[in-house]
Structure formats: structure tokens, C-alpha cells
Amino acid sequence: MKRSFIFSVLTLALMMVCQNAFAYDYYVNGIYYRKATQQVPGGGCGETYLIVVNNDYQNTYSGDVVVPETETINDVTYRVRYIGSEAFYGCVNLTSVTLCSNIVNIGYHSFAECPLLEVIDLPVGMKQINSNAFSYCPRLDYIYIHDTEPFFLWDDALADINDHVQIVVPCDCIEAFEAAEEWQGIQLYDDCGHVGVGETEATTINVYPNPASETLTIEAEGPVTIADETGRIVRTLFVEDKRTISLQDLSKGFYFVKAGNEVKKVLVK
């Protein structure tokens, strides 16, 4: 029996959910959610969490979307764990999506046919990416992976993108990914410049005002990430020359804005 089949069966056994029959259960802060409960081996249910979904229509989301780590609904706090199937499908005005560190699963066609989407940053702890998750995104240039060990891919999870998208893994981790059955044949790059991402090293970044309160202007070329003092990525975006973003969803404190190998420290007050 193929390892990929065994892995997929185990993954489904561990992560099956008791799902509501409706498309979404809640609409909170601009995002639609379905509530689900994890089934645990041997029977019974574990954690109840949230899945990001759409509102039963294509083109649900637009602009820069930030998926939070938790949402409190009716005085109960849930972790946001999944990007549901077709959650962002066909969102023609979607420019970026920042995924929280709790996300473990990317559903099938979840980001397909998003013509303005240029970069995706996948957090540590990812468990699997389903079929055609990023298909037909003509401007998608980068997928950043932060896990040092490969996770499960369905056979066509990266279909239609590998000829024009740089899939970037942590420094010196390429061999581990290429040794995994489901990652074979996928062109990979690493973030230390060994395999072709060195072109980002010359990036010059400028950020202002600093300190900042309501908005921050970033001057750079290419993918940019913003991380808090713990290293947790709170925003992922693509900048062409200059871009101004809102800081309303960020707490006060220091943040690190990174483009290529250059980092700027910013105080949000």
C-alpha cells in the first residue's frame, strides 16, 4: 500500500469532523465560519473549532483578509483551524490572505481562481493541502512554507502552479521535502538563497511613519511579511513600489517588516 494512501487515511481518521449541514454558522468581523468538532480515535469528540468558509457564493472576500487565531462567539472562544473547501474560490478582488498559526488544513479549491493573489504564507503546523488548492491564480508568485518537515499533499494539490510559482521551504530543508513521496517532482526553493531565491536578497525596504498608529506605508518590491515580537507572522502581502496598510487589527508593540533578507523594526502605538 502506498505511503500517501496510508497517510491520508490516518489524517482523515484523526481529523474527521462532525459538520453542520449549513454552509456557514457565523459571520464575525468580515469572515464566515462553520463550527466543527474533531473526532478522536476510539470514538467521541475532541476540540470544537472553526472553519473559514464562504457565504455560499463565489467572490465572497476582497482586499486584504487576515484570518484570526481565535474568535469568541456567544461567550465561547474557538480556535480557527481549517480553510474550508472553496472558501476563497473565485474571489477576483482578493489581494492577500494572512493565515493564523492555528491553520492545519487547506481545503480543495480553497484559493483557486483568485487573479490578484500574489503570495501565500503557510504557518508552522500545516497537516495537509487538498486538491487544486491554488489553481488558476495567474499572479501567484510565491508560496512560503515554514515547516521543516514535509506535510501531506493530495496528488494534484499544487496542480497548475508549479511552472510559475516559487515554493519556498526553510533553509536547507529541500532534501527532506523532496524525499517525501508526495513532494517528488515539485520544484522547490529554499529561503537561504541556495536554489534560486537569492534574487530577493537585494530588496530595499522602507517603512513609515515609525512609530505608526493607524496606517503604515511600505516601500518595497515583492512579498512582504510582518511579524510580532514572538516571530508570529501577522500579515502577508505583496508590494509593488509602495503600499499603505491599516494597522487597526494590530495590538500596540514592536513588529518586524521583512522583504527579502532585509528587516525593519516598527513600533505600533
Q: How much is the pLDDT for 178?
A: 86
Confidence class of residue 212 from pLDDT cuts 50, 70 and 90? very high
Q: Flag whether the pTM goes above 0.75.
A: no
Query: Would you list the DSSP string of 40-108?
Result: -TTSSEEEEEEEEE-SSSSS---EEEE--SEEEETTEEEEEEEE-TTTTTT-TTEEEEEPPTT--EE-T
What architecture (CATH level 2) is domain 3-198? Answer: Alpha-Beta Horseshoe (3.80)
SS (H, E, C) 186-206: CCEEECCCCCCCHHHHHCCCE
Helix, coil or strand: residue 257: strand
pLDDT value of position 184? 83
Query: Is the Cβ–Cβ distance between 216 and 266 less than 8 Å?
Result: yes
pLDDT at 22 (0 to 100): 46
For residues 103-118, give the mean pLDDT: 94
How far apart CA 93 and CA 246 sit, in angstroms, is 17
Is 70 exceeded by the pLDDT of residue 9? no
pLDDT in tens, 163-204: 678 888 888 888 899 889 888 888 888 776 544 333 444 568
Domain range summary for the chain, segments of one domain joined by +: 3-198, 203-268
How far CA 34 is from CA of 75, 89, 204, 249, 256, in Å, comes to 17, 16, 41, 22, 32
**Residue 159 has which C-alpha cell?**
496542480
Q: Is the pLDDT of residue 27 over 90?
A: yes
Q: What distance in Å separates the CA atoms of residue 88 and residue 103, rounded to the nearest whole number?
A: 15
Question: pLDDT tens across 45-94, in order?
Answer: 889 999 999 998 888 999 999 999 999 999 999 999 999 999 999 999 99
What pLDDT, on a 0 to 100 scale, did the predictor assign at position 165? 84
How far is it, in rounded angstroms, from Cα 259 to Cα 239?
A: 9
Inter-residue contact 15 to 105 (CB < 8 Å): yes
Asked if domains 3-198 and 203-268 share a fold, the reply is: no
pLDDT of residue 6: 44
Q: Indicate if the pLDDT at residue 253 is higher than 50.
A: yes
Considering only 14-23, 139-148, 158-167, 256-265, which range has the smallest mean pLDDT? Answer: 14-23
What's the CA gap between 114 and 107, in Å, rounded? 15
Which class in CATH covers the domain with range 203-268? Answer: mainly beta
Cis peptide leading into residue 115 (ω within 30°): no
